[in-house]
C-alpha cells in the first residue's frame, strides 16, 4: 500500500506482532507513520510505514470473499463401506501368538503374519526390528502389557 492511499479514520488490515489484524487509523504521527487502534484488542499501535498496511478492511468484506465454513463429512466405517479394516503390525502379532500358543521371535512372527495374510510390510526393510521395538514399548506398561517375554528375544501373548 502507498502512503497517499492511507486515510485518517479508515480501517485497514495491518501486520502487528506477526499477526494480521484490523486497525483504525486515528492520526498521523509527528515522527512519521500513523497512530492507530487495533480493533480486536482496543490497544493503541503505531504504524511506521505504509508497507505494514495490507489493504482496506472495508472493501474486502464482500460476501464473495468471506471465509467458507467447511462441512463435516462422516468418516466411513467398517459397517458403511463393507471393507474389513487391516490389522496393525502389533495386533496381527498378538493374533499369531495367540493362535500358535508357543513363544516366537519377531522374525518368526513377521513370517507367520504374511503367510496368514494378516499383515504385510508396506515396504520397510526391517519390519522385524520395528515389531520388536513396538513389543518392547508395550512391555514397559508392566502388568498391562499384551506381551510376555519368555526368554531372550521370544514372546508370547498374555493370557
* Chain segment 38-90, per-residue pLDDT in tens: 998 899 999 888 888 888 887 544 444 455 667 777 776 666 666 677 889 99
Q: What angle do CA 55, 58, 60 make, to 5 degrees?
A: 65
Q: Are 41 and 55 in contact (CB under 8 A)?
A: no
Give the pLDDT mean for 5-12: 89
DSSP string, 99-125: HH-S-B-HHHHHHHHHHHTS---SS-S
| 26: CB partners within 8 A, 6+ apart | 8, 9, 34, 35, 36, 37, 44
pLDDT number for residue 142:
93
The pTM for the full model equals 0.50
The three cell numbers of residue 22 are: 484490523
Q: Are 8 and 33 in contact (CB under 8 A)?
A: no
* Chain segment 112-132, per-residue pLDDT in tens: 999 999 999 988 999 999 999
Q: Is the pLDDT of residue 135 over 90?
A: yes
**Which of 126, 26, 22, 93 is CA-nearest to residue 35?**
26
Amino acid at each position: 500500500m502507498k502512503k497517499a492511499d492511507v486515510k485518517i479514520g479508515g480501517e485497514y488490515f495491518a501486520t502487528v506482532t506477526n499477526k494480521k489484524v484490523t486497525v483504525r487509523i486515528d492520526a498521523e504521527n509527528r515522527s512519521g507513520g500513523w497512530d492507530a487502534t487495533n480493533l480486536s484488542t482496543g490497544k493503541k499501535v503505531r504504524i511506521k510505514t505504509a508497507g505494514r498496511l495490507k489493504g482496506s478492511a472495508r472493501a474486502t468484506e464482500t460476501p464473495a470473499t468471506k471465509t467458507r465454513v467447511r462441512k463435516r463429512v462422516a468418516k466411513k466405517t467398517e459397517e458403511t463401506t463393507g471393507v474389513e479394516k487391516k490389522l496393525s503390525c502389533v495386533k496381527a502379532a498378538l493374533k499369531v501368538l495367540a493362535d500358535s500358543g508357543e513363544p516366537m521371535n519377531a522374525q518368526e512372527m513377521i513370517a507367520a503374519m504374511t503367510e496368514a495374510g494378516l499383515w504385510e510390510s508396506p515396504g520397510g526393510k526391517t519390519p522385524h526390528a520395528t515389531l520388536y521395538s513396538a513389543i518392547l514399548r508395550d512391555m514397559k506398561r508392566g502388568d498391562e502389557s499384551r506381551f510376555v517375554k519368555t526368554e531372550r528375544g521370544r514372546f508370547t501373548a498374555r493370557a
